[in-house]
Amino acid sequence: MRRARLLGLDWVLAAIAATATFAAAAALTATAALAAPSSGDGPLRDPAPKFALSVAGIPDSLLREEGPDPFARLWDRVELESLAGRIRDRLLLVGRYDATVTLAIVSGSGTAPGAARISLDPVDRTGGVGGAVPHTPSAPSTPPMGASAHVVAVVAGGVPAGLSDPARSFERGARGDAGPSGIAAGIAAVRDDAVALGRYAAAVSVDSVVAVGGEVRVHLSIDPGPPVLLEGLEIPGAIATRPGAAAAIAGLKPGRRITPSLLADARERLIGSDLFASVGEVRVVPGREPGRARVLIPVEEQSVSHFEGALGVTQDGGLTGLVDLGLGNIAGSGRTAGARWAGLGKGRAAYALRYREPALLGKPIDGSFSLDADVADSLFTQTRWALALGGRPASHARGSLAFARSGTVYAGIGRGSSDTWSVIGRIEWQGLSPMANPTSGLAAALETESGNRTERYPGIPEARRGLLRGKASLASAASLGGPRVLYGSVRAERVTLGAGDFPADELRYVGGSEGLRGHRDRAFAGNSLLVFNLEQRWITDQHGGRAYFFFDAARHALDAPVTAGVAGGVGAAASLARTELSTGWDLGYGAGLRTRMASGVAGLELGLAPGAALREATIHVRYASSW
């Protein structure tokens, strides 16, 4: 992406060679004895005059690449100036910044060729470049490459508009190295800083290199060029996603100045959108109009829509079920929506609707809305909505802030209602790979919620209490060689409301599909939970197929009596008879199988509680599909 990385020593020499024509007349002090052409030279259409070449003080090694006998042929003026520039380049390779190459040309008379002489001053005193003629030193010289010398940059015409400080950029890149590699690194640094400011067309060339005492001065010519503006985004490989939607997610608005930091941020935002299985390297290509460019980011889309269904059977909990439908990248816009129903047995159910907007106002922020309902027999009905803003502060990381309101209405024995306003903060790290069947990596999440709860019961004055919820989770996978993978997770939850009885609608549940397999759903409850899950897996494919043994352990605790409306603990205990409200540890174990089918993944799981007979096992049948 950054063309400056292609700059090397060859680039420096090419830039120097490109200025050889000017250097031969100025920087190389070509003091040509250019005689005026005689009247017998013929008209302007005559062939270019030729010259016989001679040298003085030039080592044979500097002419080795010019053919077997460069003195046996005749040269024209352009060829001689180019030869003088090449000799100067070869001297730079060995750090001879003090050397002056002089080209003197005397025109011939009539059809006789002229004479050209290239001389070196001072004469090489290092023994030559690969075999130079030895000579007697006459004066101190600037240290050659590798010796101690300070390198500085001189920018012709001052700092160009649109750039910061090219001289400082050069010195930072050269790191004090006065050799060709240091000069090349300095030029690359100037070019890098120009590109970082959106000047992709910036051109940097060397006018001359002059040694003064212990200092080497590199004279630079810089053309910053115009800033490059974004014309549009293309996403090769995308089938459903519209380029306009991807540009909004990536923050690439037409007309913005293109910089490396902008492109890097755009790529990270596309990776974090969860729309693509892979996002390639960014390329910048010329646009249809001058000064504009198109950005190409190759992508591979992934399945973002899914359906999951599950059916559970327990001896004393009846039938349980799950239906989860998620629609992703709706109409290629990147938006997602979903609905979920969970039947927890004998009148207990949970419902959820959700919607997510991938980019708000072209910023790297997404917005989401969720609506949940929890029905617990004839005890209570709770509804909750939340509005959240989220983003990705770093790769694999995500943070969000949400405002939520929940309301509970008690029925049956209990009477009354409650309202809660709260603020939720969440941060998570997703490092498991691959997502469908992790074999390595780590995932972690931390969520805190703080708010105020207002309780209204008939015949009792309205009461307000502070609410604090916390939830943390950690999951990891490690390969044991071959298809064997060890997967483990831990989850902790706690709810506190200060003094007084604990409301039933704030209970946290564990059991069955909620982290303690081998027991019925919502078998245990409390205001704090600690749940461990450990699985020994045998991976059959990377898309979800596996066989596994599992072991689950959970600790549930309750710090205060449970209440539900004005009937208090009596009504709560009667309606929560199928849920154990106590403090203690419970275990579960079993085995499962998930296999890949043409249309999705089907699974069967068998769980047991310690000491339970096989007929008391819980059975879960699952099916999941994605597209």
Q: How far is CA 27 from CA 152, 349, 551, in A?
A: 17, 87, 81
Asked if pLDDT for residue 42 goes beyond 50, the answer is no
pLDDT score at 108: 85
Query: Does 254 lie in the same domain as 107?
Result: no
Q: How far is CA 373 from CA 20, 322, 326, 366, 414, in A?
A: 80, 15, 18, 24, 19
Counting residues of the chain whose pLDDT is more than 70, the rounded percentage is 84
pLDDT score at 337: 96
DSSP state, residue 68 = S
pLDDT score at 565: 62
pLDDT score at 132: 36
Query: Does 473 lie in the same domain as 554?
Result: yes
Counting residues of the chain whose pLDDT is more than 90, the rounded percentage is 44
Query: Does 362 lie in the same domain as 256?
Result: no
How many Å apart are CA 560 and CA 96, to the nearest integer?
Answer: 87
255-271 pLDDT per residue, tens: 999 999 899 989 988 98
Burial degree of 391 (CB within 10 A; 0-12, 13-18, 19+): middle
User: Residue 471: in which H helix or E strand, if any?
Assistant: strand 460-479
Do the domain assignments include residue 164? no
Cβ-contact 271, 243 below 8 angstroms? no
Mean pLDDT on 569-598: 80
| Contacts of residue 468, Cβ cutoff 8 Å, sequence gap at least 6 | 448, 449, 450, 495, 496, 497
C-alpha triplet 171, 173, 178: angle, nearest 5°? 65
Domain count, the chain: 3
DSSP state, residue 480 = -
Cβ-contact 407, 416 below 8 angstroms? no
Do the domain assignments include residue 150? no
Do the domain assignments include residue 223? no
- Higher pLDDT, residue 539 or 44: 539
How many Å apart are CA 1 and CA 10, to the nearest integer?
Answer: 20
C-alpha triplet 84, 87, 89: angle, nearest 5°? 110
Residue at a domain's end among 97, 121, 145: 121
How many Å apart are CA 209 and CA 100, to the nearest integer?
Answer: 11
Query: Does 260 lie in the same domain as 403?
Result: no
Query: Does 354 lie in the same domain as 279?
Result: no
Cβ-contact 357, 367 below 8 angstroms? yes
- Tell whether omega for the bond before 434 is within 30 degrees of 0, i.e. cis: yes
Averaged pLDDT score across all residues of the chain: 82
pLDDT score at 123: 54
Cβ-contact 267, 249 below 8 angstroms? no
Asked if pLDDT for residue 524 goes beyond 90, the answer is yes
| Contacts of residue 531, Cβ cutoff 8 Å, sequence gap at least 6 | 490, 491, 492, 510, 515, 516, 552, 553, 554, 555
Lookup: tokens for 392: 């990705």
Mean pLDDT on 30-38: 35
Query: Does 326 lie in the same domain as 239?
Result: no
Query: Does 346 lie in the same domain as 290?
Result: no
62-96 pLDDT per residue, tens: 888 888 888 888 999 999 988 988 887 777 766 66
Domain that holds residue 19: 3-121
Mean pLDDT on 318-332: 90
Strand partners, 313: 319, 619
Domain at 257, CATH number: 3.10.20.310
**What residue type is assigned to position 52 of the chain?**
A
Based on its alpha-carbon atoms, the radius of gyration of the chain, rounded to whole angstroms, reads 39
pLDDT score at 304: 87
Q: How far is CA 287 from CA 3, 199, 522, in A?
A: 17, 15, 60
Which region holds residue 213: left if phi is over 0, alpha if psi is between -120 and 50, else beta?
left
- What burial letters (b/e) apply to 139-171, b meaning 16+ CB within 10 Å? eebbbbbeeebebbbebeeeebeebeebbebbb
Domain at 575, CATH number: 2.40.160.50
**What residue type is assigned to position 533 of the chain?**
N
Comparing CA positions, the residue from 473, 475, 400 lying closest to residue 435 is 475
Q: How far is CA 399 from CA 390, 444, 468, 588, in A?
A: 6, 12, 19, 33
Q: Which pLDDT band holds residue 129 (cuts at 50, 70, 90)?
A: very low
pLDDT score at 122: 66
111-123 pLDDT per residue, tens: 889 999 999 876 5
pLDDT score at 20: 35
Do the domain assignments include residue 211? no
Cβ-contact 533, 512 below 8 angstroms? no
Domain at 77, CATH number: 3.10.20
Do the domain assignments include residue 160? no
pLDDT score at 570: 46
pLDDT score at 179: 77
Asked if pLDDT for residue 414 goes beyond 70, the answer is no
Q: Which pLDDT band holds residue 144 (cuts at 50, 70, 90)?
A: very low
Do the domain assignments include residue 437? yes
User: Residue 508: in which H helix or E strand, if any?
Assistant: strand 508-510
